[in-house]
Structure 1
Amino acid sequence: MPWSEAMAPVRMHRVAVIVPQAALRGTLVRIAEAGCVELDRAEEAAPGAAAVRLQRLRGRVTTTGPESATSAVLAAAAPDLDLLEERGDVELLAGEAQLEERAKGAVQRGEVAALAGWCPDAEMPRVAGRLAAAGGALVPLPSPRGADPPTMLRPGGPASFTPLVTTYGTPAYADLDPSWPAGLAYVAMFGIMFGDVGHGALLVLGALALRLGRPRRLARLGRLWPFLVGAGVASMLAGAAYGEFFGPTGLLPVLWLSPLDSPARLLAAAVVFGAGLLAVAHAAGAVNRVREAGWGTALYASSGCAGLLFYLGLALATAGLLLHRPPSTVVGVTLAVTGLALVAVGLFRATAGGGAGCAETAVQLFDVIVRTGTNTLSFARLAAFGLTHAALADLVWRGTTGLAGHGAAGVVGAVVLLAVGTALSFGLEALVAGVQALRLEYYELFSRLFEKEGRPFRPWHVPPAEPADRATKVVPCSPG
């Protein structure tokens, strides 16, 4: 798969389902079983016969649609709705209500019915084969002008960072899929703040337990195990660099620096690391602006090419000043001023013009400059919370060694203090590091990546009711 395609959402096709009127129900049942097509639905359609019976059976009169059912199944042949209501078969009635709703979106011409929708490109042959068996056909259509396809991020197998992106929002279909880069950035930031080989190893063990479904009451959190593994490995690497193993126990040598001995170096490294992440986010944002609206808009956007040029110039000028390299400073200032001028042009073009437009542009330009500086300095919190974590571990270790020198009772007290102190510091710092890494990811990085909100791909999937059909497993929508 080409890199450009692997870093983009799953490719979608606008499709039409063409089927004889008599075979409409059978075709819809096969579409629902495949679970790979998002069908257009009729707007403000009156509830069908199955939906009315379903509402009556539930004993409530609401406007809630059939999608709110906790579960639904579909029979291969049209069932007797009155009999289903009499038996209290909520699942079959819910499935029939959904089928009625989709069928109302069909356009009928004589003996032929057609439905429109979206389908992943990789799934089209499989869906077409299933529809052909029912007498239908899946026909590719050009995308409607002005309508963006729904977005489906690549699942990436069991170890996926996709939830990190979807929790923030749904990217526009034209945008890049930042799941893996965003996940790696998250675990790296977590590791810097939670650097300890012992604590990181505990996180890895916890992730393996979640992967195995243990404990059962936390099984619903199982999809978070890739984050725990990544965070644990990053913490172990940072801990090895800091020489921390359940605190400054002296069991590991300091490979890079000790946080409590060199806080200024750690602070500077955190800001430089954050500046690098922001530069990458700016570059990805520029690519997104080009993909969304073309070069004409991306060239002047603060989250596009102009913002990238301004940030790179600012970084180069700052590095030149700190390293006493006048040529680098001059080039950096030139790039920064050029980028800022392009941003100003883009901001002014979005106003009504005149004096009011100039004033609005000046205020927004000042905001761009301030936010650029504050967002960069915000990454200093990586060092700050890394220092806090090291200080708490050091406090626990000093208390443990102090108690251990007071006889047998002191040794017992030292063991208890080490266990309780480690548990408290582990829980507190893991929570803080997780929240702070998420905050940096969303506010500093994602705010530069995304400007448009996409629409998630919601394929229609209802399993068959017949046991014979259920025995044949159909994997819904697995583009891989």
Structure 2
Amino acid sequence: MMFYPAEMHKITIGVHRRYAAPFLQTIHEEGIIELTPITGDEHLLHLITPVERDAIRQKLAAAQSRAERAVESLVDLVEGGRGRIAEFFLPLRREPLPVRRQDPASVLGSVLDYDALISEILAFRIRRSAIHERMARLDEIEEHLTLYGCLGEELLPASPSRFITVRAGRIPEGECEDLNALFNEEGIESAIATSACRCTEEGMITIVVAHKSAADAVDTLLRSRGFAEFNFGDREGTVSDAKDDLIKEKRSLSLEDEEIVSRMCAIADEHLRQLAAVAEDLALARDRIDAAALAGSTRDLRLYSGWIRRRDLPLLERIGMESAGGTMIYRSVPGEDGNKDVPVAYNHPRWLSPFGFLTSTFAPPRYREVDPTFFIAPILVITFGVMLGDAGYGLLLALVAALLLAGPARYPGTTRDLSLVLFACGLSGIIFGIAQGGIFGDLLPRFFGIAPPFALVDPLLNPIIILTGALIFGIAHLNLGLGIASYSNLREGRVGEMLRKQGVWFLMQPCSAVLLFAFFGWAEFSQMLILAAGAGTAAAAALILFIEGPLGFFSITGFLGDWLSYTRILALALATAGIAMTVNILAEMIGSVHPSLVLVAVLFAIAGHLANFLLQSLGGFIHALRLQYVEFFGTFYEGGGRLFLPFATKRVDTVLVEDE
């Protein structure tokens, strides 16, 4: 059932030593078992010898590091010239390379075919880094030469003088100072300064000549002014000659860098796919070496322990027949309720899977606890759609999500799940936007005289309808949570707990509703029913105060506050429609001033609607999620489980093909 996490079994597996490697590789590819150290099974400790990590692991790790750095260098080079936006939304696609099963030694051996190429790439990477560092240094020297040129053309001698100390540099001050006067004040008579003020950002350029005996005092004074000494890289002669040398060196370095880039691009075109596959194979082989070290060994058997979903046991048996030569034996024990060591695996159908990360963000359910994801998915999408309430904004959100799915979110993971959720929210925004008559606000009737088709209720004209619907939905949503909590308590035999925690609210709510409707004249009830409702309300309140003490008062007001929180559905719908209408009004006013301002009005409308779209999409998603996390979860959900982390491959650059 999707309402509960998958049933988990603690499993201990034994396979003949001869088949240990192919068996481990198969369960790695299938990803059905979360392996745990065999030493955690105390009843097996006297029977087994822990398996030591294979010595080949260090070689695999070293080769993996080299290959991954080579791939990273090529990918950065290929994608770097496309711009960050294009790189993010439209990353380059690499078709996965078909590979066959190999043991770690064979994987390591396959790297030898690319060792020379990887060494060449890494050498290019180091050289490019050195070139860029040198270019940055030359830029700094060129700046120093330009500033120094304010005071003279002849550079200072590169070799130190026997009697004279010379300092040339910049003091980052906004105003010029008379350094000679400062020297006199400090009693430094054997020093003289020549200075020139540039702009405020560059400060004061100065050359100080002093006798060796006054060098320390001069340096101390200059440091107090934030003096930064120029460095010309041991260049002598004139500023012009030094700049010419710099230009020549920079041109030479640029040409060398271009040649390296050209060579690396050629390598990327021809070998990037293969190198990425090699790096991935190395990483997976190292993972299997690490996993093998979790096992234990007897004379003939290799023993593994871990957790598996009950529905995967038939697949495990098939793996045992095909990859372990029929030598596999296993023992599985169902996980115990309340055991914190039992991992939690979601039991979601395909359409619900993307919403699982929302539950995990709050807290995964405990084992055997109700999984709230089934309730989160439709309610989040619906409430977001009503809050956004604009078909134009919903279409934009769906397009952004589709763009993400075509680019950075095309691989499984949280980014893909979030993009799918946003796409569903965008579709909801379109549907409820049409129902609420919002297509970029009142764009159609204001500028084109077209009434929004299929509009049912305008939040600006009929807010009471949406408010009433929000409050009805809110009380139903809260009672759904109370009902789930009641079912869980009854299922576990905690009848008293159910009556204390949920029963009192089931008593208070209908009784309070009768009193409320009678007070405002919304409905007529017999005097006997009103008295009974008053007695029921008083009894429920007394029970809450008796159970929780004085803090029970805050439980009552808290429940009322949780219910009223659903009015944010109306507030967000009004905000979206109101701001969109304001943008349209202002754009209309700008365009009506003069025909030449029509383009300005259009640009203003685009910018305003884009800002409103971003603001309301973010606000709607956060507030729709808050209604789940705070109000709904507060009635029944605790969480605190540990997610199931199977030993599984995550292939991106390779695809496994089976031998015929």
Shorter-chain TM range is 0.7 to 0.9
State the alpha-carbon separation in 2 of the partners of residues 343 and 321 from structure 1.
Answer: 24
Shift of 1:233: 2.9
User: Given the alignment of the two structures, is residue 280 of structure 1 paired with residue 480 of structure 2, yes or no?
Assistant: yes
Question: What's the Cα RMSD here?
Answer: 4.1
Match of residue 239 from structure 1? 433
- Listed as ranges, the matches of 1:202-281 within 5 Å are 202-213=396-407, 221-249=415-443, 250=445, 251-252=451-452, 255-281=455-481
What's the CA shift string for 1:408-454, capped at 9, x where partnerless? 21322322222111111111111111111122221111222312422
- The residue identity in structure 2 corresponding to 1:294 is G
Q: Is the 8 A contact 2:337 2:367 kept in 1?
A: no
State the alpha-carbon separation in 2 of the partners of residues 301 and 383 from structure 1.
Answer: 33
User: Given the alignment of the two structures, is residue 13 of structure 1 paired with residue 9 of structure 2, yes or no?
Assistant: yes
Match of residue 294 from structure 1? 493
User: Given the alignment of the two structures, is residue 34 of structure 1 paired with residue 30 of structure 2, yes or no?
Assistant: yes
Shift of 1:84: 11
User: Given the alignment of the two structures, is residue 192 of structure 1 paired with residue 379 of structure 2, yes or no?
Assistant: no
Aligned pair count?
A: 434
- The residue identity in structure 2 corresponding to 1:272 is I
Match of residue 579 from structure 2? 392
Counterparts in 2 of 1:75 and 1:363: CA distance versus 1, 3 Å: farther
- The residue identity in structure 2 corresponding to 1:402 is M
Q: Is the 8 A contact 1:213 1:219 kept in 2?
A: no
User: Given the alignment of the two structures, is residue 173 of structure 1 paired with residue 367 of structure 2, yes or no?
Assistant: yes
Query: Percentage identity across aligned positions?
Result: 22
Shift of 1:318: 3.8
- Listed as ranges, the matches of 1:347-386 within 5 Å are 347=547, 361-386=548-573
Match of residue 356 from structure 2? 162
Shift of 1:200: 1.7
Larger CA deviation: 244-253 vs 188-197: 244-253
Q: 1:101 aligns with which of 283, 288, 293?
A: 293
Q: Is the 8 A contact 1:161 1:183 kept in 2?
A: yes
Larger CA deviation: 365-374 vs 320-329: 320-329
Q: 1:127 aligns with which of 316, 322, 343?
A: 316
Counterparts in 2 of 1:440 and 1:329: CA distance versus 1, 3 Å: farther
Shift of 1:93: 6.4
Larger CA deviation: 192-201 vs 112-121: 112-121
Larger CA deviation: 85-94 vs 409-418: 85-94
Q: 1:140 aligns with which of 327, 332, 335?
A: 332
- The residue identity in structure 2 corresponding to 1:207 is A
Counterparts in 2 of 1:168 and 1:462: CA distance versus 1, 3 Å: same
State the alpha-carbon separation in 1 of the partners of residues 647 and 284 from structure 2.
Answer: 16
State the alpha-carbon separation in 2 of the partners of residues 288 and 426 from structure 1.
Answer: 41
Counterparts in 2 of 1:337 and 1:161: CA distance versus 1, 3 Å: farther
Shift of 1:208: 3.0
Q: Is the 8 A contact 1:131 1:138 kept in 2?
A: no
Counterparts in 2 of 1:101 and 1:416: CA distance versus 1, 3 Å: same
- Listed as ranges, the matches of 1:409-424 within 5 Å are 409-424=596-611
TM-score (norm 2): 0.57
Match of residue 91 from structure 1? 283
Find the residue that maps to 1:400 and give its secondary structure: helix
Q: Is the 8 A contact 1:283 1:308 kept in 2?
A: no
State the alpha-carbon separation in 1 of the partners of residues 284 and 432 from structure 2.
Answer: 55
Larger CA deviation: 11-20 vs 160-169: 11-20
Q: 1:324 aligns with which of 519, 523, 530?
A: 523
Match of residue 82 from structure 2? none
Q: Is the 8 A contact 2:61 2:286 kept in 1?
A: no
Q: Is the 8 A contact 2:38 2:304 kept in 1?
A: no
Counterparts in 2 of 1:215 and 1:75: CA distance versus 1, 3 Å: closer
Counterparts in 2 of 1:217 and 1:172: CA distance versus 1, 3 Å: closer
Which structure: greater strand fraction? Answer: 2
Shift of 1:288: 3.3
State the alpha-carbon separation in 2 of the partners of residues 54 and 343 from structure 1.
Answer: 63
Structure 1, unmatched stretches of 5+, are 60-72, 348-360, 474-480
Q: Is the 8 A contact 2:545 2:553 kept in 1?
A: no
- The residue identity in structure 2 corresponding to 1:241 is A
Q: Is the 8 A contact 1:14 1:116 kept in 2?
A: yes
